[in-house]
Amino acid sequence: MNTDTELEAWQREWREQTEPLPELKKKIKRQNLRTLLAIAATVICLVLSTTEALRGRGSFMTGLALGIWFASLSMGSYAWWVRRGAWKPEAQTTRAYAELAYKRAVARAGTLRFGFYFLLIATILYAAFAASIWRTASGATWLVLFGMVIELFFFSYLRRRKRRDVEEARELMDQTNQDSDVIPTER
């Protein structure tokens, strides 16, 4: 049996250059929109907290604004760093979109892990502060601490969910790699 290597090469090239799955393309576009909305929401929070701190000139609002700035810059810098290479697909193929979805899933999981530990440290520091002023602390102090602990549990739930997303993206990427490696046999 003769095998036509040129035909096989054309078949592989054709499979690699096929249009990406429409659902995968829509998912990537939704992720891009969510990223833009998250950036806009962060900028709005920064502007509002800074405006309120400058207007009110109270130590609580100033501390809150500084905390929001510090958290935003820390999380934003880490998110930007971990998502390098996950901004757009390398080609307009299903495989490239599957790889992009996987890279983004891994980046989101890493960002969430960083956020969880960042919040854990902030909660411990705030709990130490609340404990040091426990006699004069207002109900708002304890309510904020309670909210931070609840948020830690929520982050823990999201981390498990993001791990599943990474596994699903890996399976999709593996599936597209396997599908493109298959060469139809002659009949």
Alpha-carbon separation of residue 155 from 78, 80, 97, 109 (angstroms): 17, 20, 27, 11
Within-domain flag for 30: yes
- Give the C-alpha distances (Å, rounded to integers) separating 30 from 33, 41, 62: 5, 16, 35
Residue 3 lies in a domain: no
Instruction: Look at residue 160 and tell me if it is in a domain.
Output: yes
Determine, yes or no, domain membership for 22. yes
Residue 96, domain member (yes or no): yes
pLDDT computed for residue 152 by the predictor: 95
Decide if 98 is inside a domain: yes
pLDDT at 185: 43
The total domain count for the chain is: 1
- What are the mean pLDDT values of the chain's consecutive 10-residue runs (187 residues total)? 69 61 82 89 90 83 86 90 83 82 90 92 90 83 90 93 90 77 42
Nearest to 20 by CA among 104, 90, 96, 85: 96
Of the candidates 144, 146, 148, the residue with the CA atom closest to the CA atom of residue 121: 148
Q: Would residue 1 count as lying in a domain? A: no
Other beta carbons less than 10 A from residue 71's beta carbon: 16
Domain annotation covers residue 6: no
Instruction: Give the model's pLDDT for residue 1.
Output: 53
Compute the distance between CA of residue 185 and CA of residue 187 in angstroms, rounded to an integer. 6
Domain of 146 in residue numbering reads as: 12-181
In order of 2, 60, 126, the CA distances from 121 in angstroms are 66, 20, 9
Q: Are 42 and 76 in contact (CB under 8 A)?
A: yes
Answer whether 0.75 is exceeded by the pTM. Answer: no
